[in-house]
Chains A and B, each alone.
Chain A
C-alpha cells in the first residue's frame, strides 16, 4: 500500500523555468511533509518541509505548497538550474514519530 505517491517518474525542464514536482498521500494522519533531493551515490539531502497547519513554505528558490483537502503537495523550484538535476523524494510523517514514509521519487533534469 503506497501511502505517498509521486506519479511522475521523470520531469525535464529548461534552465530558468519553473519546475513543479507533485506528491499525493492517502494517510490523513500525516501532519508533516518533507522534500529530499538525491544525487547518485549520495544519501538524500533535506530541502524543505511543511507542517500540516500551513499551506505554503518558502526557502529561497524552493516553495512547497500543501493542499490538505486534496491530500496533495507540490514543490516549486524557480528558477531551475542545471545543478537541480537529481531525484526528488517526497516524504511524510505522523506526530512525533520519526519514521518517514517516502514516495518513489521523481527524476528532474534541467536542460540548458
Chain B
C-alpha cells in the first residue's frame, strides 16, 4: 500500500511561515489534498489538487508538490491556524485507493 509520511509536529511563531511536508514515493505525479482539523471539529479541506484553494480558504494557505515531497505552506500564521493537518492522495494502483498521511500537529507559539 502507498504510504504518506508527515512530521508529527511543527511549531511556528505568529506572523511567520509554517511548512508542513508530506513524503511519498513519487508523490509529485499524484494530486495531493490537505485537510485542517481543529480540536473537536471535523476536517476541512484547505488545499486540493496540489495547489488549489476552496472558496473561503485564505490565500495564506498554499501547496506545492514535486518529486517525493508535497508541502503545505501557511503564511503569516495566526493563532487560529493551530490544528492538525493531514495530506491525502487517491491512487488507483494502491490498496486502499484513499490514503491519508499520519497528520501533523501545528503549534503556534
Our verdict on whether A and B bind, yes or no, reads no
Seen from chain B, the residues whose Cβ lies within 8 Å of a Cβ on chain A are: none
Seen from chain A, the residues whose Cβ lies within 8 Å of a Cβ on chain B are: none
